[in-house]
Amino acid sequence: MKSTIQVTKSSMPDFEEYIEEIKDLWDSHWLTNMGEKHKKIETSLTKYLDVSNIVLFTNGHLALESAIAAFNLTGEVITTPFTFASTTHAIVRNGVEPVFCDINTEDYTINVNKIENLITERTSAIVPVHVYGNICDVDKIDKIAKKYNLKVIYDAAHTFGVKVNGIGIGNFGNISMFSFHATKVFNTIEGGALTFKDKRLKKKLDNLKNFGITGPESIKSVGGNAKMNEFQAAMGICNLRHIDEEIEKRKKIVDRYFKNLSDIKGVKLLKAQTGIKQNYAYFPVVFDGFKKTRDNVFEELMKNNIFTRKYFYPLISDYECYKHRYNSNDTPIAKYIANRVLTLPLYADLELEDVDRICKIILK
């Protein structure tokens, strides 16, 4: 009986390394509210992500909700339906209306040529998503935003450590959101961050994640609670020590998948964008004109205890909670890809022999 392979496996430091890191919490009894670990990982992440400002959160989703809240956005926000539930939910939970733009056929990010047609006098922002580690056309989005005076908040949950022409991806738009969830390239168990250039945003975001508290007897604004605690931060400190090694291992796995699956009729792989330092976050395959359908491949791998994910399927506009307001045929490329995409297992410790075995089952 071959062992089970999940689509991902959370990166963890050695047990002893984590224990060593959290030991002093038993001296300080300081468990949350921006303690020493929080300060340390904040500094390290600012460096690693090559950004000027960062605010840490207990997860990526609340970070994104806070980013939208920080600008008091109203009316409509242009985004894509080819993403995780979080992106659209964050917009809706702020009382703003998502307007779905279609995606590109090659990199699955927002089609910048279709944005302007969707802009109305109610549009207040664009929330594009960097998908699978691929980045959006940040220059064109910047031009459109300037022309129409719109805010840009990137969902950068998939692009930890990605750089474009040597610049950290968290430097684009007004704010970028990173997720440090257990399943992401870098994790703090649960966790997230906002990065931004305008340092005046720091206070506002700090208040949004901590009840609007500005001093022992001063609460100036309405805020929630979305702070990263010390155990999360300690996990981040440990995981960040090994991140380059982890990404290097992911690269080897992606290279192996490419070796096995390139030039196969009906099997479309995600090409690397030029000028990008990649993070190898996901390995999506689009089955289009292959001898088996996406769902056949999914089932067959499952029979062999190999678990893949139809990520992103269904399209957000087809969700139970949204389908009465949207028609997924309005974004035909997104719909086409969602019906054919499968993300294959990818994590640092995945054995190359297992990659070969997965590919063999697919091609059989």
Ligand X SMILES: *Cc1c(COP(=O)(O)O)cnc(C)c1O
Positions touching ligand X (CB under 6 A) are: 59-61, 83-84, 86-87, 129, 155, 157-158, 179, 181, 192
Residue whose CB is less far from ligand X, 13 or 133 = 133
Residue whose CB is less far from ligand X, 129 or 152 = 129
What is the helix (H) or strand (E) element at residue 285, kind and residue range? strand 283-287
Which candidate, 100, 46, 48, 109, places its Cα nearest to that of 270? 109
Q: What are phi and psi of 121, to 5 degrees?
A: -70, -10
Residue whose CB is less far from ligand X, 67 or 237 = 67
The residues, any chain, with a CB within 8 Å of residue 222's CB and separated by 6 or more, are 212
Burial class of residue 284 (count of CB atoms within 10 Å of its CB; 0-12, 13-18, 19+): buried
Residue whose CB is less far from ligand X, 201 or 226 = 226
Which candidate, 192, 233, 236, 212, places its Cα nearest to that of 90? 192
Closest contact distance (angstroms) between CB of 158 and ligand X is 6
Residue whose CB is less far from ligand X, 123 or 176 = 176
Closest contact distance (angstroms) between CB of 289 and ligand X is 28
Radius of gyration of the chain (CA): 21
Residue whose CB is less far from ligand X, 35 or 128 = 128
Give the pair of three-digit tokens for residue 225. 């609670």
Closest contact distance (angstroms) between CB of 316 and ligand X is 11
Closest contact distance (angstroms) between CB of 351 and ligand X is 25
Q: Are strands 76-79 and 97-100 parallel, antiparallel or unpaired?
A: parallel
Closest contact distance (angstroms) between CB of 75 and ligand X is 22
Closest contact distance (angstroms) between CB of 64 and ligand X is 6
**Spatial strand order in the sheet of 341-344:** 267-269, 283-287, 341-344
